[in-house]
Amino acid sequence: MRCEALFASSLRRTDQPSPEKVREAIESSLRVLGARGCAAWVAQAYGDFPEAAVTRMHWVQNLVAGAFTAENTNYWEPPGC
């Protein structure tokens, strides 16, 4: 769910977002689109632009992994998307 929410956010690779910005973007996407809306956004991107979607998802997965490590949060989060 986190990866889908970040994928659907307006963050771009050129933004070089901090872990805090990544978490804020995830929360914002979930608030605006909901979990299903984020998943639908990802599905549409894979259908319309599969190569670009794969590249973006790889970037998103790395950001999510970094944003939810123990040193970047005040609470424990399970790893992964």
User: What is the C-alpha separation between 32 and 54, in angstroms, rounded?
Assistant: 23
User: What is the C-alpha separation between 6 and 56, in angstroms, rounded?
Assistant: 10
Enter the pTM of the model: 0.84
Given this model, what pLDDT does residue 39 score? 96
Domain map (residue ranges) of the chain: 2-72
Which ranges constitute the DSSP H helices of the chain?
Answer: 2-7, 19-48, 50-67
Residue found by looking up tokens 């989060």 in the block:
77
What confidence tens digit (pLDDT) does each residue in 52-78 have?
999 999 999 999 999 988 566 555 455
Distance between first and last Cα of the chain: 6
